[in-house]
Amino acid sequence: MSCQGNGIQCGTIQVLEPDSSVPVADAGGTADPSLVERGDYVLAQGETEVQIAFKTRKAAALYRFEYLYVDTADVSPLQPHPGTITCIPIVQTVDGFSLELAGSPILAGYTIRWRVVVVELTSLNLDEPESINIPIPLLASLMTVFLDSPRTEAYGFSELRVENLVDPAAGQAVIHVQVTTRASSFFVVAINPRPPTANYNLVARIP
């Protein structure tokens, strides 16, 4: 405690024991970029699924969205009601997150505004076996898949295929996938031909 003059104005400083599990900002209020990040993502017309990569890898995948919404301020003023789009997080990793959109942009100018803050620090589980079964966006030719557990070395796939358990077998296309990029926290596949419906899933397993 420190006081000025006759002791009427006093200030109190509390010293806490260090706790590595508690995220802390510096005295100026600027947080470590591994703990806090914000961004904007401009949506394409008709887009229904979004994958956003962080500029800085986060210290943990346990982060919350302080805000996550679609801004229509830049949509044409000739459109009286551009419609409401809701963002639904479906994947969160230390390198980014994926969203599904309830609704889709009918015009250019829709922008996703977001800010994430890490709420708990945990040690990363490296090279954990991982199973993946996620929808392939309609007519997609490339797809980025974020991993829950970062890999520390070159890895392979014990399974990598496309399945469709919804459409009639006689009407299905045979979809081939090929890995084009492989990183510690994600991989990218090329898809050929493009899925003609939204009922195709990418199935993969990393041992």
Residues 77-102: tens digit of each pLDDT: 766 666 788 999 988 988 899 999 98
Average pLDDT over residues 43-49: 90
CA distance 190 to 192: 7
Q: Give the integer Cα–Cα distance in Å for 149 and 97.
A: 14
Residue 22 pLDDT: 52
Task: Give residue 26's pLDDT.
Answer: 43
Greater confidence (151 vs 187) lies with 187
pLDDT at residue number 152: 74
191 touches 141 (CB < 8 A): yes
Judge contact between 96 and 89, C-beta under 8 A.
no
- The confidence score (pLDDT) of residue 27 equals 42
Is the separation of the CB atoms in 166 and 93 below 8 Å? no
Residue 116 has pLDDT above 90, yes or no: yes
**Is residue 14's pLDDT more than 80?**
no
pLDDT in the model for residue 150: 79
The pTM of this model reads 0.49
Q: Per-residue pLDDT for 188 more than 70?
A: yes
Determine the pLDDT at residue 28: 43
| Higher per-residue pLDDT: 81 or 198 | 198
Q: Is the pLDDT of residue 11 over 70?
A: no
Contact 86, 67 (CB under 8 A): no
Q: With CA atoms as reference, report the closest residue to 44 among 97, 139, 108.
A: 108
Quick: pLDDT tens for 60-69. Answer: 888 999 999 9
| Lookup result for tokens 């803050």 | 117
Token couple for 104 = 């889709």
Residue 126, pLDDT > 90, answer no
